């Protein structure tokens, strides 16, 4: 088989890129190692920046998002038992949209099927070759048969554990990493959210987050130890711990219920540079990870894809500059989102090894944040998403 762009991975990066390329008349195939049901079973974050929504508009996959997504004009931070609202819209003129990554992925899969675009699920032993020359290829097995795809370019949208970044010679990559000494225990439940906007909570027992998917489905998190296990947490234990970390009046309004999903995620900051190696381009989690505190993971994946789509469109439109600029353009935005996610993680969590000095710095920073319009604006403009330049 022959195509223009072979996309590895059917997460949001790969599927969005495929849709945008198809809109521009650029032929592509998506090759995914898991089943579609498995991909849709992964519960991820659910806060979309305006630029992400605009890209989904351009891809023609946003009809349900506009019907069912919840526009949020503000977000709350709670510390010392006091809730403080950041007026995102008042400070920046922008808002975010609450709509789960699972739903975004669902819409992208439906659109791909409706457009009849080629997609291979449950591909085994996916390998890439020739990307350092002029004849890149993707090889995979399906039902015991080996397939080879010849293409102009490979888009590595295969996440943190994927094959694409791993296929690049180590000497060509610069890796930057910070692993945080805690995780997030998350629960999804069909209960109405405790508040109409998200609440990020700093508490001496550890961070907590009150998030949501809809008016009837909530997503809550509590900071936990890195070596903690989901089996250690009954639903009751989770709800009790969450209530401990909320102000009493908020805890009193919390509706609890049986968990639909419960999982623990470690927190990591990670960047691999550059994001282009000859005819291989990385996008999304394949190139970078942010801790979830700023809700930037999906949004960064989307902006990478936006830059890559522009680059391929320019290339096939006859101008070479776009492909050369991709890595630098994407990384400039990525590093700023890495900074914001690291900062918000550092601000809101309990660090097991922090001295009393460190604790006072955190308190002073939170105190300052709510006394300064300038500081709140900095948070707000990063939270709603920096422009794609």
Task: List, by residue number, the catalytic residues.
Answer: 72, 200, 292, 296, 383
Of 238-246, 286-294, 321-329, 372-380, which segment contacts ligand PHB by CB under 6 A? 286-294
- Smallest gap from residue 53 Cβ to ligand APR (A): 15
- Across 284-388, where does the E strand assignment appear? 288-289
Beta carbon nearer to ligand PHB, 45 or 189? 45
Contact residues for ligand APR, defined by CB under 6 A = 8-14, 31-34, 39, 44-45, 101, 123, 126, 157-159, 161-163, 284-286, 297-298, 301
Instruction: Return the closest-CA partner of residue 267 out of 338, 173, 204, 200.
Output: 338
In angstroms, the CA 81 to CA 83 distance is 7
Contact between 46 and ligand PHB per CB under 6 A: yes
12 binds, among ligand PHB, ligand APR, none (CB under 5 to 8 A by kind): ligand APR
- Smallest gap from residue 124 Cβ to ligand PHB (A): 31
- Smallest gap from residue 301 Cβ to ligand PHB (A): 14
46 binds, among ligand PHB, ligand APR, none (CB under 5 to 8 A by kind): ligand PHB
β-pairing verdict for 70-72 and 96-98? antiparallel
Beta carbon nearer to ligand PHB, 47 or 330? 47
In angstroms, the CA 269 to CA 179 distance is 6
Q: Could you tell me which residues come within 8 angstroms of residue 344 by beta carbon, excluding any fewer than 6 positions away?
A: 200, 293, 294, 379
> What DSSP letter does each residue of 57-121 carry, written as one string?
HHTT--HHHHHH-EEES-EEEEETTEEEEE-HHHHHS--EEE--HHHHHHHHHHHHHHTT--EE-
298 binds, among ligand PHB, ligand APR, none (CB under 5 to 8 A by kind): ligand APR
Measure the N-to-C terminal CA separation of the chain; round to a whole number of Å: 36
Pick the binder of ligand PHB from 5, 6, 10, 45 (CB under 6 A).
Answer: 45
Tokens coding 87: 């007026």
Beta carbon nearer to ligand PHB, 48 or 163? 48
Instruction: Return the closest-CA partner of residue 216 out of 255, 185, 242, 249.
Output: 255
Residue nearest to ligand PHB (CB): 211
Phi, psi of 194 (to 5 degrees): -70, -25
Cα–Cα distances in Å, from 364 out to 81, 100, 369?
Answer: 15, 34, 8
Contact between 293 and ligand PHB per CB under 6 A: yes
Beta carbon nearer to ligand APR, 39 or 111? 39
Contact between 162 and ligand PHB per CB under 6 A: no
* Contacting residues toward ligand PHB, per CB under 6 A: 45-47, 198, 211, 219, 292-295
């Amino acid at each position: 088989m022959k195509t223009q762009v072979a996309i590895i991975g059917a997460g949001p990066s790969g599927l969005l890129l495929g849709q945008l390329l198809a809109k521009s008349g650029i032929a592509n195939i998506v090759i995914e190692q898991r089943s579609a049901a498995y991909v849709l079973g992964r519960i991820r974050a659910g806060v979309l920046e305006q630029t992400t929504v605009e890209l989904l508009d351009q891809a023609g996959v946003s009809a349900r998002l506009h019907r069912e997504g919840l526009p949020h004009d503000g977000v709350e931070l709670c510390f010392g038992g006091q809730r403080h609202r950041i007026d995102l819209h008042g400070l920046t003129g922008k808002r975010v949209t609450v709509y789960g990554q699972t739903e975004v992925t669902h819409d992208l899969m439906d659109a791909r099927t409706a457009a009849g675009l080629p997609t291979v699920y449950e591909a085994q032993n996916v390998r890439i070759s020739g990307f350092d020359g002029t004849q890149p290829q993707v090889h995979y097995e399906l039902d015991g048969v080996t397939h080879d795809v010849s293409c102009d370019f490979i888009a590595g949208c295969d996440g943190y554990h994927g094959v694409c970044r791993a296929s690049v010679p180590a000497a060509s990559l610069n890796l930057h990493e910070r692993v945080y000494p805690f995780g997030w225990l998350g629960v999804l439940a069909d209960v109405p959210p405790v508040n109409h906007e998200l609440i990020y909570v700093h508490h001496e027992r550890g961070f907590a987050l009150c998030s949501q998917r809809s008016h009837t489905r909530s997503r809550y998190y509590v900071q936990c130890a890195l070596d903690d296990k989901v089996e250690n947490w009954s639903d009751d234990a989770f709800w009790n711990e969450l209530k401990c970390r909320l102000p009493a009046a908020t805890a009193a309004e919390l509706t609890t219920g049986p968990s639909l999903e419960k999982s623990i995620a470690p927190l990591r900051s990670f960047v691999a540079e550059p994001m282009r190696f000859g005819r291989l381009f990385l996008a999304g989690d394949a190139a970078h990870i942010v801790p979830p505190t700023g809700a930037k993971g999906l949004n960064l994946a989307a902006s990478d894809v936006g830059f890559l789509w522009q680059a391929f469109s320019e290339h096939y439109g006859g101008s070479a500059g776009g492909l050369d600029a991709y890595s630098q353009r994407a990384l400039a935005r990525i590093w700023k989102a890495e900074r914001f996610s690291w900062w918000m993680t550092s601000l809101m969590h309990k660090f097991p090894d922090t001295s009393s000095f460190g604790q006072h710095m955190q308190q002073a920073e939170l105190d300052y944040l709510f006394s300064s319009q300038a500081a709140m604006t900095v948070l707000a403009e990063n939270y709603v998403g920096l422009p794609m330049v």
